[in-house]
Structure 1
């Protein structure tokens, strides 16, 4: 009897000890396919975090592209299994906050040992160009993780063969250079722009609109876009003219894989792609020198911030919030954020990452990585609206029609896009009275 009692006591004691040291398990959603180098690198980061401490165990869930990640995270939340942390396209923050789907970051930052608020952490540690896409009405709902701007990638060998001394600085030079680089007898194109409706087309288009001196949307009111403005028309007309008037870009919707394949084969002179593609482009360009430059200007320099932020979905308990805070601050630490930047080509939104010796060495060894940072002084917030995805696709679908149909006019495109976008945003417009002109 005494032996049984002793065994029971020891068992209970072991259970108590085991319970005391059990890790809090949280789900972390990451926008990447289940295979590939980004997934492998993030898997390594998660493993190192899990092994570095005894409080939290992170389970990585790799979810596909940004749009798919948003859908899967929202579905998991509705099913009662919200991710404690997710890397979400930075321009989804406003829509998710409007839907009351994500937590204000202060719900996590209350576990900060030095009682710093999420807004103070954001403002004091991240590039100013990132702040707008992390907030709604002054409240912080996201913390930047990796960011990008579109850049001009070009084949230095083709430039030299065509006698081109420098990358184009404005739209007219872009057209002139693209003409010199185009040789249809060789299947060689002067330029390619991604026009898919998975955010690439809208992202590049919005940068062109800003370079044309306009605004793509109202950054202070999530219910207003300017698809039928003269500056948007001008950007769309340039895009269609590159295909049908100047014949320097193939017709049809182009995705980033098609563009990069043409570039690697030496059959493409220039491309507009994300700085987040720099690692991939750098690694796969073998037979010629790859160079990058700022996007050409029209009325001004102007690019749109892209990339992703960390958000936390509503429905997690306090222990999960504490665990999410611990993993979040690990991911955006200068060391991890800098390492991820060097691996991927995204620039690190955490400013202190660039103070590290390894980051300085990286930039010295590859000055191409500096271009995205140099463009920050000309960067504008990513478009973020009520029902961002649907509103964005309203213009991307029209862009697709313009590059597929020579007879389709820009006037038709912007009228249809504006009408569709306004219909989608009408519930929000009716519910608010903050609409202003830009």
Structure 2
């Protein structure tokens, strides 16, 4: 028994020594070394692996997975690993924990209202440095999308999932009410008048989600600024301007229909307002351009898509881009940054953007995608998609439609939500707007004081 035990110990010892010897041999030129950089392999012939954090679920996630696979299969130098991180807010919270370090993901998707925060954070490498180094032609991308993410003429992140608001309406309800189904109302007064004709015992004329983004758009299309300092683009904003004439026009517009009983208040949930439209509880509503396909597919009636309405006394300026963009991390290895840049360039190609547009309903950031055969076929079947692109491309470039930059946008949007809720409860439009502006001013003051 003792001999057997001694023999077993001897065998195990020799096995351990052999394993150690093999490990040393592998490290001597055969095992990839990370040199302390997460994801990067430095051995010749090995792929550089990077992480791509995103906030897309459902069809968006499925499409991203296809894009990533296409890139990984297209070359043998880099490997992208797409990782869902939850909502935009959840993903940004996670990034705060590793931002600016070698443990940060190479690419992070951040919603558009996080732009100012990301620029100020010190976490990111501006895209412009790679654009200049590579002589990348930005003119191939959609100007009115790029404008949002440019500050002082420099592009800080690569646009990705881009959308704008549109007005979606029930053509069958228009016919029944004696309205022209091919001509949606354009001005506030026209929407108010149409809502009166469309409203009946089971249907309201118009609705808008209780969400700050739509308010911002209705202010911008009048040429109104959200905050001072040129919408926060020539310096840190200190004062909200959205409670001026343009913002009051929007609140009076909504208040008129609410008091007349032609406005449908379906709260803050996207699914609720979309369901209300599909079940004919409301005839017109504002949605994201990315929601057009679902509205068409889920409605048992003919669906129309139109530009968002604007105040009667002004010219239509257009829309501000929404959605999110891709940010490159600072502090990671140079090879990881190179891999991220190659992936971003791949994502902007017409073929990839065409598929992304068709999969998700988001705009193609490269308009050459709209010339792809699969897009032409889809547009022929659903001409409503073209309306969303036309509205974007008809947008007049300017500070209003470029969009505001403030680091406390989520807090400000919540102020607008509260103001809208109080408006629908019967409070004075100017009073609730002023209150929202004061809350935004306080948030900006605190953010400016604590800025790095």
Match of 1:29 in 2: 53
Counterpart CA distance in 1 for 2:87 and 2:263 is: 26
Match of 2:14 in 1: none
The 5 Å alignment of 1:36-185 reads 36-77=58-99, 81-109=103-131, 115-116=134-135, 121-122=137-138, 124-165=139-180, 166-184=183-201
Post-superposition offset of 1:362 = 2.9
Paired residue total: 408
Match of 1:436 in 2: none
Post-superposition offset of 1:363 = 2.6
Contact 1:108 1:321 in 2 (8 A): no
1:157-195 deviations in Å (ceiling 9; x for gaps): 1111111113112111101211222223x3x22222111
The 5 Å alignment of 1:219-298 reads 219=231, 220-221=233-234, 222-223=236-237, 224-243=239-258, 245-251=259-265, 253-285=267-299, 287-298=300-311
Contact 1:215 1:226 in 2 (8 A): yes
1:216-251 deviations in Å (ceiling 9; x for gaps): 2333334143122121112122223322x1212234
Match of 1:333 among 338, 349, 360: 349
Q: 1:102 to 1:182 in 2, by over 3 A?
A: same
1:322-359 deviations in Å (ceiling 9; x for gaps): 11111111111111111101121122121222233333
Contact 1:391 1:421 in 2 (8 A): yes
Q: 1:397 to 1:67 in 2, by over 3 A?
A: farther
Post-superposition offset of 1:134 = 1.4
Counterpart CA distance in 2 for 1:13 and 1:296 is: 65
Match of 2:9 in 1: none
Post-superposition offset of 1:284 = 2.0
Match of 1:349 in 2: 365
Q: 1:321 to 1:8 in 2, by over 3 A?
A: closer
1:259-318 deviations in Å (ceiling 9; x for gaps): 111122232211100101122223322x21111011122222232221221111323221
Counterpart CA distance in 2 for 1:16 and 1:257 is: 48
Post-superposition offset of 1:253 = 2.5
SS in 2 for 1:154: strand
Counterpart CA distance in 1 for 2:327 and 2:23 is: 44
Counterpart CA distance in 1 for 2:152 and 2:23 is: 57
Match of 2:388 among 363, 368, 372: 372
Counterpart CA distance in 2 for 1:78 and 1:431 is: 18
Q: 1:13 to 1:312 in 2, by over 3 A?
A: closer
Unaligned runs of 5+ in 2: 1-17, 34-40
Counterpart CA distance in 2 for 1:63 and 1:158 is: 41
Counterpart CA distance in 2 for 1:401 and 1:61 is: 39
1:193-212 deviations in Å (ceiling 9; x for gaps): 111xxxxx222111211344
Counterpart CA distance in 1 for 2:324 and 2:53 is: 12
Unaligned runs of 5+ in 1: 196-200, 433-438
Contact 2:72 2:79 in 1 (8 A): yes
The 5 Å alignment of 1:349-428 reads 349-376=365-392, 377-378=394-395, 380-403=401-424, 405-406=425-426, 408-426=427-445
Instruction: Indicate yes or no: 2:231 matched with 1:216.
Output: no
Counterpart CA distance in 2 for 1:252 and 1:351 is: 35
SS in 2 for 1:378: coil
Contact 2:101 2:331 in 1 (8 A): no
Contact 2:225 2:242 in 1 (8 A): no
SS in 2 for 1:169: coil
TM-score (norm. length: structure 2) = 0.82
Q: 1:68 to 1:382 in 2, by over 3 A?
A: farther
**Bigger shift: 330-339 or 135-144?**
135-144
Structure exhibiting the larger radius of gyration computed from Cα positions: 2
